[in-house]
Structure 1
């Protein structure tokens, strides 16, 4: 198994960050081949999604999360920015990990799919993402 922790700067704003390019770099360094990639975000307020980016889907996802999990005073978890409690509920909807098949050293994604970090927590501007490649 090959594993690496990468750092992602979100800039302290709600973001969907496409991880596909850094994942491709990681897989090149892992020697290619076939296997399974696990992407894990070790944070209580972020998740990993496989979605289309660049055509508005990432913005639509953030808008849907604002509708579903509004940043208001309804949350019992109250430290941090106003409405921060919703960030702690996010991983129940956008899980903190995903696994993707790797074939010939490349992610076996569909045409429009990207692996993305979803982060609604404006209090943390730097995130860690653990990439683990189990070669078959």
Structure 2
């Protein structure tokens, strides 16, 4: 197994950060292999999604999460900024991992698919992402 961690700065507002180029750079170090790329975020308040970016879908995802998980005082988990409890529910909807096929050393994503870090937690501006290649 081949593995690497990267650091992603997400800032102080909810964000969808495209990890696709970083994932492909990681794979370049492994050569022309087939297998599975596992992407994992070791945080209790972030997730990984496969979606289209740049055409509004990333903003639509954040808007949908705001509707499903409002940033208000309804949450029992109350440390951090107001409404932070919702950030701890996020990984149940956007899991902290994704697995993508790799063919000949390249991500086997669909035309409009990207691997994205989803982070609604405004209290933690820096995230770790772990890439692991499981060869076939």
CA RMSD for the aligned pairs?
0.5
Query: How does the TM-score come out when normalised to structure 2?
Result: 0.99
The residue that corresponds to 2:72 in the other structure is: 72
The residue number in structure 2 matching 1:107 is 107
Aligned length: 136
Which segment is superposed worse, 76-85 or 26-35? 26-35
Q: Stretches of 4+ moved more than 2 A in 1?
A: none
Partner residue in 2 for 1:48: 48
Gap regions ≥5 residues in structure 1? none
Distance 2:70 2:32 in 1: 42
User: What's 2:26 paired with?
Assistant: 26
TM-score by length of 1: 0.99
Whole-angstrom distance in 1 between the partners of 2:113 and 2:63:
19
1:86-116 CA-partner distances (Å, limit 9, x unpaired): 0000000000001000001111000000000
Question: Matched residues in 2 for 1:3 and 1:31: separation?
Answer: 13
Distance 1:71 1:129 in 2: 25
Q: Deviations over 1:6-64 (max 9, x none)?
A: 10000121000000000010000122310100000000000000000000000000000
Matches within 5 A, 1:1-136: 1-136=1-136
